[in-house]
Structure formats: C-alpha cells, structure tokens
Amino acid sequence: MNKNEIVDQTRLAFDYIQKLYLETSYFIKEVEGLLGKEDEEFIIGRPGGYAITTSRSSGLESNNVELWLLRRMAVFFVPKDLTVEKAGQTITKFDNKIKVIYLRVVLDSKNQSEPKVFAGILYNFKGMGKTSMEKIEQLMAYMEYREPQVFKNPHVIDYSDGYLSFHGKLFIQNLFDLNSSEEIYDKIVIPAVELFRKSD
C-alpha cells in the first residue's frame, strides 16, 4: 500500500468511526425519548452532565492503547420523581427500593460477533463499609472498570465487593437489528419497562 492509499484509508476509517458514534448517540437519544413518554417519565441519569459512561485511556502502554477508542458505553434511566436534578447532573441515592433501566452498547468485543445492546434493570443497591458509594451515578464508571466481574452473566447480575452490592437482569439485542423507532420501542423499550414494572 502506498502513502496516498494509507492517507485515504486513515480518513475513511475515522469517518466511519465518527458516523458509528453519531448513530449510537441517536440510538441512545431515541431510547431516552421513548422512555420519557412512559408513565414513570424516565429521564437519563447524568453522572457528569449529558453524557455516556465509558472506560477510556490515553496511556501509551499497549494494554491502554486499546482503550483509546470507545468500544463500550452505558447510560441509565430513572423515573423523574426518584432522582434530584442539580447543576446539569442527577443525584440518585441508593436504597433497597430504587430501580433503574440500564442500557449498555458494546460496539466491539473479542467474544462477540457483532455490536450488541445490553438492556434491562439494575436494583437492590447497597453500600457497604465506611467508603461505600451512595448513588447510582458513582456506580456507572465503577461498573465499566470492573466489566469482567459485573457482566460475567449479564442475564442475572449478582455483584458484591467490599464497597457495594447490587443485582440486575439484562437482555441482549443485536444493535444493527434495530433499524427504526418501532423496532427500538418493541425490542428495547417495552421489554426493559416490563422488567422494571414486574421486578421485586
């Protein structure tokens, strides 16, 4: 491959990744809009403003270079009356009654054949010890950096360590099988809301 081909391929690669990220943002915003119309009036959780939560790095060590590109991203949705909105952020305190709808997009992973959406609920949050977490917004990044432990069985999450414990139930959908608002509603929103409403 000559220099001009490499330059063209580099531009095409970045153009494609940018379009993929843009489409992913539209998908998340579509889910947000549809959940906002439900009786619970779900709003998107804002740990640090209107953003996704992800694990990333700018380190030069080989194992950190893989984290330069965003491959996994997550958000959560909570009924409006169960959180506090303040200065562009939400504050959703742990208690044994709070539940949230969780949405995680995995664009690339060694052990999956195509981009996936993990959706469902997280619940039964308990902080433990003097250094325990107190809100779901803190939990979001914590989960990303403990991905192998938290998501070893995404269908039934039963996570506990010295800081906190929580449970979850997620279902998995191929991202590129969601090609319309109706499909997003039928395959993501309805099953997630049903889990939210019927869980203990």
pLDDT tens-digit series, residues 126-176 = 888 776 788 999 999 999 989 999 999 999 999 998 888 999 999 999 999
pLDDT at residue 162 in the model: 84
pLDDT above 60 for 43: yes
Domain ranges of the chain: 3-198
Q: In whole angstroms, give the CA distance from residue 100 to residue 135.
A: 12
When pLDDT is averaged across residues 52-66 and rounded to a whole number, the result is 88
Residue 200 pLDDT grade (very low, low, confident, very high; cuts 50, 70, 90): low
Structure tokens at 70: 């965003």
Q: What is the mean pLDDT of the chain?
A: 93
Cβ proximity of 163 and 133 under 8 Å: yes
pLDDT at residue 67 in the model: 84
Q: How many CA atoms lie within 13 A of 99 on its CB side?
A: 18
Residue 194 pLDDT grade (very low, low, confident, very high; cuts 50, 70, 90): very high
Q: In whole angstroms, give the CA distance from residue 189 to residue 183.
A: 9
CA-CA-CA-CA dihedral for 84, 78, 97, 198, to nearest 10: 160
pLDDT at residue 131 in the model: 67
Cβ proximity of 137 and 76 under 8 Å: no
pLDDT at residue 176 in the model: 96
Percent helix / strand / coil, the chain, rounded to 5: 40, 30, 35
pLDDT above 60 for 27: yes
